Amino acid sequence: MELRRLRKIATRSLVAWLTGDRRRLLREKRRLVFLLAEREVDALTFRSNGTTWTVPAADDAVARKVFVDGIHQGREIHSLLAWLSRYGYLGDEKSTIVEVGANLGTTTVPFAKQTGKHVLAVEPMPENFEFLLRNVSDNGLDERVTCIQAAVSPASRELTMVSNPSGGMSEVKAEGENQGYGKPPEESRLVRVPSLSLDEALRSHGIAPQDVAFVWSDTQGYERQVIESGASLWFARVPLYLELWPDGLRVHGGVESFVETVQMYFGALILRNELMAQGTSAPRRPMSELCSVIDALEHRHTDALLIAR
């Protein structure tokens, strides 16, 4: 595995050098540094584009992306915030952004820095939560970000999480043997975490639903439960940006129940690729197209912005 990755880096580096693509060559050098560091250190701290990051030095796609590019989902974040700003969702009367599945803080920090709003960041996995706290603190955002170590579900209780070696793929344990990505690797472990509903999280921190600009959710197929936990937000017409991953949805209650729940609260959706390609002119698809969108994904995944009725 490691040798194959080294060969890929070497090949891409040679192409970048032959074509004079200095930016690409720099990215490949960073890939090499990250690969070499995996077995030597536990974490890497670095600065990129005015932001300080600490990420695990492990075979973690999110950590590697931040180290190589300086940001994760950068175009996606920019496109989403531009659309929300254009249509009035980021006005001064909206004080808060809610983030479910904050991971290492790779979206938390950009949201806080780029909007100036308060971010309520929820992350269940203990290791990820420590990196989240570190990245918030190192960027001077302690006063603008509230971090909650918990999962989000319709009822307050304990949940079992499957800790994937790739931290960004950890998820709530499904009822069967397999998770959305299949059978968990042998090195995976089970972690018990507290959970709370979105409505409860808002109440406990004195946040009114109408003060929330939008919700960002990345929960590896547990999106239906996240939606069910935050009815007050959707009745207040708060938009929701979430992952659409058929395999994950199937093991966490099924695609049909997810679609039914979405259609209770939301009337239109905008797909990630169209949002990034067309910006504020991206088409709003009627919610009747959600089933066909999910079917077309097959085993792939995408993100979508859901707009309340």
The domain segmentation of the chain, as residue ranges, is 2-69, 74-308
Residue 194 CA to its chain's centroid (Å): 19
| CA atoms of 113 and 143, how far apart (whole Å) | 12
* Contact present, 216 and 97 (Cβ < 8 Å): yes
221: left (phi over 0), alpha (psi -120 to 50) or beta: left
Residue 167 — very low, low, confident or very high, per pLDDT cuts 50/70/90? low
User: What is residue 277's three-state secondary structure?
Assistant: helix
Q: What is the pLDDT of residues 6-26, one digit of tens each?
A: 888 889 888 889 899 898 998
Q: Say if residue 1's pLDDT is above 80.
A: no
In DSSP terms, 51 is beta-bridged to 48
Measure CA of the first residue to CA of the last residue in the chain; give whole Å: 48
Q: What is the pLDDT of residues 259-302, one digit of tens each?
A: 999 999 999 999 999 999 999 999 999 999 999 999 999 999 99
User: What value does the mean pLDDT take over residues 137-150?
Assistant: 98
The domain made up of 74-308 has a fold known as: Rossmann fold (3.40.50)
* Contact present, 174 and 252 (Cβ < 8 Å): yes
Q: At what angle do helices 108-115 and 74-86 cross, to 10 degrees?
A: 40
Q: What is the pLDDT of residues 207-239, one digit of tens each?
A: 999 999 999 999 999 999 999 999 999 999 999
Q: Residue-wise over 131-145: b if at least 16 C-beta within 10 A, else e?
A: bbbbbbebbebeebb
In DSSP terms, 158 is beta-bridged to 194
What is the number of H-type helices and E-type strands within the chain? 13, 14
What's the pLDDT score for residue 104? 96
Whole-number average pLDDT of the chain:
94
Residue 3 — very low, low, confident or very high, per pLDDT cuts 50/70/90? confident
224 phi and psi, to 5 degrees?
-60, -45
In DSSP terms, 163 is beta-bridged to 189
User: What is residue 71's three-state secondary structure?
Assistant: coil
* Contact present, 247 and 309 (Cβ < 8 Å): no
- Maximum Cα–Cα distance across the chain: 58
DSSP code at position 185: P
Which residue, chain included where needed, has tokens 């002119």? 281
Residue 168 — very low, low, confident or very high, per pLDDT cuts 50/70/90? low
Could you tell me whether strands 285-286 and 157-163 are parallel, antiparallel, or unpaired per DSSP bridges?
A: unpaired
Q: Say if residue 47's pLDDT is above 80.
A: yes
